[in-house]
A = this chain, B = another copy of it.
Amino acid sequence: MSSTFGQLFRVHTFGESHGGGVGAVIDGCPPRIPLTADDIQVDLDRRRPGQSEIVTPRDEKDQAEILSGTFEGETIGTPIAVLVRNKDARSEAYSEMAEKYRPSHADYTYDAKYGIRNWQGGGRASARETIGRVAAAAIAKKVLAAQFAPDLEIIAWVKSIRDLEAKVDPDAVTFDQVEGNIVRTGDPDAVAPMVELIKEMRADGNSVGGVVECVVRGVPAGLGAPVFDKLEAELAKGMLSLPATKGFEIGSGFGGTLLTGREHNDPFFMEGDRVRTRTNRSGGIQGGISNGENIVFRVAFKPTATIMTSQETVSTEGEDTELKGRGRHDPCVLPRAVPMVEAMAALILCDHALRQRAQCGEMNWAIED
């Protein structure tokens, strides 16, 4: 049951990096949403390996097939099964992994939990698992646009790589600005240094991490829930469920702890008929519910665990040994993490949109119009 996300727009992912394939079953999707495999492919192409010179050169096309839940190009309200076959498998590259645990990977912990693991690649812990999420999110975005918030924008970008920080204005950055460079940052001046750093790390057999920032614009006030399913709590969970993440903060985040209440509070004011706040240290959410301002949050990704250097580790037999990374890997996951962050945000917003409609009817979405 740990592979299910969402209460109403419910995603069940499946699949290991090696084996028959990966994918998702999406249940609870509204009917009569136009949907073809091409709609899904667009986002899968943004997360796939081999897309640029700074990501892993594995060449997987990740072609999506819709097995069920649509008819003549529209959703029909039944579960939508999406399958992406596994293709470019070089399992011999992983044979050493059968006997040695890779440091800072999930090999050991899977064995400790299950007493068995698929040691070909990362198995279920592989970032390949996120294919199912990205596919489901492509559908979620269509639902949001068709039925709830036509002007909704979910845009993520690389905010920093190691100590290189991009200057990006969450209120103004555009999707095209981000997609226009292979790093997926929103700051043109940051592209070259970031590319250079990533290449340098790869040349050295090393790796590097960073921070992805994300803005959601066009969310009306009233979305979310009190107590456990606060919108920021759901986002925190969604983001920390992505591989390689170590932290989440919203609005003022950790930096906000350096301010006093007088400095930190967001004063309300009227802008025409609309309630606005002067500042946005809340990050667009107050008490778990959106206030109509932009939702802004950041996610920390650690440096890729696979490095091309010999490292101290232990064998499955419980003996000290060494292991050197092999195969083709991302020296920096950030560029490919951008669509994953957007995907989790889209799934959460779509789920809460349906929850809102269930409990409160359609009304509130119109308030801000």
Contact = CB atoms under 8 A, between A and B. Distances in A.
Interface string A268-301: 1110010101100111011111111000000011
A153 to B, nearest CB: 20
Given A112-B221, A114-B76, A247-B254, A105 B286 contact: yes
B23 A270 contact: no
A252 interface: yes
Contact of A112 (B113, B116, B209, B289): B289
A357 B356 contact: no
Q: Chain A: interface residue count, which band?
A: 35 or more
Contact of A364 (B113, B125, B245): B113
Contacts of A20: 65-68, 81, 83
The residue in A29, A239, A264 that gathers the most chain B C-beta atoms within 10 A of its C-beta is A264
Question: DSSP class of A's interface residues: helix, strand, loop or mixed?
Answer: mixed
Contacts of A147: 361
Enumerate the 8 nearest inter-chain pairs by beta-carbon distance, A residue then B residue, closest first: A106-B287, A247-B249, A207-B261, A2-B225, A20-B67, A237-B237, A358-B358, A109-B289
25 contacts: A1-B28, A12-B27, A16-B76, A20-B81, A23-B81, A32-B115, A78-B124, A78-B226, A83-B83, A103-B277, A105-B286, A106-B286, A108-B221, A108-B275, A109-B222, A109-B285, A109-B286, A113-B222, A113-B364, A115-B360, A147-B361, A240-B250, A256-B302, A261-B305, A270-B314
